[in-house]
Amino acid sequence: MSTSPKSDSVKLSPMIRRRTAKDISARKGGEPIVSLTAYITPMAARLDEYCDFILVGDSVGMVLYGMDSTLGVTLDMMITHGRAVMRGAKRALVVIDMPFGSYEESKEVAFHNAARLLSETGAGAVKLEGGKEMAETVKFLVDRGIPVLGHVGLMPQSVNTYGGYGAHGRTEEEWQPIIDDAKAIAEAGAFATVLEGVAEPLAQAVTEAVSNPIIGIGASNKCDGQILVTEDMLGLFSFNPKFVKRYAEIAVDINEAVANYAKDVRSREFPAEEHTYKMKK
């Protein structure tokens, strides 16, 4: 089956310049940075006009493949989806998650895999999870020309260690290690850092403590920007995390559309005459 290009597809001037990691870094304390996730070309094309950067997240494992966590996502999967997103995004910086197991072994292994992600997709940066323990790796990558987006606070790739996805920093005793992690990643050269699942006062403290932009997800509007999983904010799934505001209910629209399609097929109302090819005269 195939579909023809839509007449309302995004048309860009050849003079449009893609945003870079340096552009995002320069936004510290300025206009809030907008980001969402994408894994496929048409979604990336729709987000491109509005997002400063698009993350090809390892959340693809849960969103598209029905996995229970992100841990089963592979480097090859990230490369495939990274290529797809690059075909759709022309303005936004595209960042690709380094999946679990692709960077923890050593900084040399991390460089090899990060280089693959960028060279085989054309994306502009990679993201990896971890605080002080990953600072040396972040510096190693940045020193060799690979822009890095950090990720501290709740880190989904460490779900088995945490024992779940609960928020962090809800007591002041938990604050300092997260602040120290964010500082270490910023000092190592990360152009920005995602801060996930922390109490609002801690989010503000982290944002004020570091020199690079902090991108919040479940971390309040005190951060320098925000990111969400696109399918969450569009209402594709019945479960809605506390930190997600739904801007649409596409699951309802999909259900209604499919139900109407099934009804029309069974009643032979579809395909109608206008959907049918005629003989040539």
How far is Cα 15 from Cα 156, in angstroms, rounded to an integer?
A: 38
In contact, 87 and 41? CB cutoff 8 Å = yes
Query: How far is the CA of 156 from the CAs of 18, 61, 130, 159, 162, in angstroms?
Result: 29, 12, 10, 5, 9
- Distance, in Å, from the CA atom of 192 to the CA atom of 185, rounded to the nearest integer, reads 9
Residue with tokens 């598209």: 64
Q: Could you please report the per-residue DSSP string of 92-149?
A: SEEEEEPPTTSSSS-HHHHHHHHHHHHHHH--SEEE--BSGGGHHHHHHHHHTT--EE
199 contacts: CB under 8 Å, gap ≥ 6: 167, 168, 169, 170
Q: Would you list which residues are annotated within the binding site?
A: 58-59, 97, 127, 129
User: How far is Cα 43 from Cα 242, in angstroms, rounded to an integer?
Assistant: 24
A 10 A CB-CB count for 254 gives 12
Binding residues for Mg(2+): 58, 97, 129
Name the active-site residue from 104, 136, 173, 196: 196
Main-chain dihedrals φ then ψ at residue 139, nearest 5 degrees: -60, -40
For the question of residue 200 being annotated catalytic, the response is: no
**CA nearest to 20, candidates 137, 147, 145, 143:** 147
In whole angstroms, give the CA distance from residue 171 to residue 152: 17
List the one residue out of 228, 172, 224 whose CA is nearest residue 197: 228
Q: Which two tokens stand for residue 204?
A: 């503000």
Q: What are the residue numbers of the active site?
A: 196
